[in-house]
Structure 1
Amino acid sequence: MTNNTLERAPLILEDFTPYRLNKAAESISRRFSGQYRERYGLTRPEWRTLATLGQFGARTATAIGMHSSMHKTKVSRAVFSLEKRRWLRRCRDEADRRTEHLELTPAGLKAYDHLAKLAHDFETELFVRLGERGARDLKAGLAALEAYYRRQSTPSSPDDD
């Protein structure tokens, strides 16, 4: 009787691509979050909520959560915090009174503009470090992975539930 794990090479976690992608993403995200936390005292969910509303305009909390890959409780806390800062306001949907559309106030738009510039500058610095070819290859590789996994997560039929 043979042990299959002894017949295979061990998994070297530090060389495993999904692990490396996660570590790189977390390191980059932590570095950037330090900038918006230091300047504005924002949490990651608050930043993502602000960025989503700045990009798209008025959205529901559900739409923000879907776009930014956040659980509804994180979105809810971020909305509450941004509302306390007077960066966000709620507008009840007249057609469906249960629905609230969230939008940035003028102060929220001003903060978003500053943070968008900060984000662009951060990304530019990242790409400078990678070089032109490295930046191009990274963008292409990420696009390919995102497209592949987006196709994989799409149910093939309505009966797959």
Structure 2
Amino acid sequence: MAFQSSVLRDGEWVTQTVNFQDALNASSTTPKAASDPSLKAPECGILSRTVVESPVVHWILPVCLRSRSHNDIAFIGDRFVQISELRDDGQVHEVIRKADFGTRIRNAIVLGGPPKGDIPDAAAASTKTEGADVPMKDVAEASEAKEDKEAKEAKEAKEAK
């Protein structure tokens, strides 16, 4: 069995493949050497490996993967595809996630579309509609109307006396 290890050699990080048994033998037989104070790690370098996967989702695509009874949704990020299901209660539940593509995902698209009538409960889904627009009075018109109303009320009050 072998594993990869990153080692600092001559001021550069090098990845090497090490046999598990050789590593055990080397660590038990070789005494620890005193560290060389003249050899310093570089102050700055370039990170060439992904340390933390980006959780940013770039595309959210409706897909019909499993059957007519499932509302599947594909969430596509830099290096992952996650298939989730939108259930009747309105919550999204993860079905599967694949993140071992080995490279960055640059684009995604759903090929084809669901056949007519393939969207579950499409007829039963309610769509919110809005009422007609209410015309808004201009500020000047509104203040004039207010002044006219106040004048009319004052006139009526004067006549009532």
Please state which band the TM-score falls in when normalised by the shorter chain: under 0.3
Greater C-alpha radius of gyration: 2
Query: Higher strand proportion, which one?
Result: 2
Richer in helix (by share):
1
TM-score (norm 2): 0.20
